[in-house]
Structure 1
Amino acid sequence: MNWLDEICWDASGLVPAIAQEAGSKDILMVAWMSRQALQRTLELGEAVYWSRSRKRLWHKGEVSGHVQKVESIRLDCDGDVVLLTVRQLGHDPGIACHTGRHSCFFRELRQGEWATVEPVLKDPEQIYT
């Protein structure tokens, strides 16, 4: 059996993928992967996702320069979530989010409201030119 066949792909042929920073163990982002995206990730050693909005493969950092170098690929016990351990590299090391923050998880529920708890490290208008 091919290792890709052991993954429980959803009806659209996708699986959620969590990107976790190798050093800090911070969860940087959650995205989706197709079979082709996961195969390319293994081949390149860099994260490649499936962009549901663009309907195409998305090599993380192709526009922003914020590349994710993959150190390990894990599969959860049910076979329906992939965990990538990554090193966030590129023009602005440490930025994974399109908002210019370290992580996409920059809001925290406080007293019934979402509060921004992480700073913008670089203005997105300077990243996406």
Structure 2
Amino acid sequence: MTIIERIGQLLTTIAPALPVYRENQSGGFKEPSFYVSTIGGRSEPELFGRQKRTHGYQVVYFPNLKKPNADMERMEQLLLNQFLTLPDFAHIRDRDFNRVDGTLTLDFNVVLWAAPVDNTPKQQKMKQIERVTNSDRSEN
């Protein structure tokens, strides 16, 4: 399961009645709804080939058009309280809420540590040949 799929699952848990989109919609987004996208990432090397990877994401909330400001305030509080951890995976870090063009945006990071995987074949069998020699032979 990808990180974006995990984000979508968490949003569905928080607001089960709302659609969560990953791709732009040709006819526009239904309101209220969420749109999730990747906004970048970085990697920092650590000891023994490990990497600290920071993945940046953005969730855009399209509010109910009847009362958009009240709806955005309600959703911001809901996300502040419940959008904290991707269950059994990683914590959500650096949450930053903004209002842009009548939407609520949430920028955040997911930090993971990656270790190199060694897929080289390991020794499967070992063949051993034993020889017995007599070193105490006496010559007459």
Normalising by structure 2, we get a TM-score of 0.30
Higher share of residues assigned helix: 2
Normalising by structure 1, we get a TM-score of 0.32
* Bigger CA radius of gyration: 2
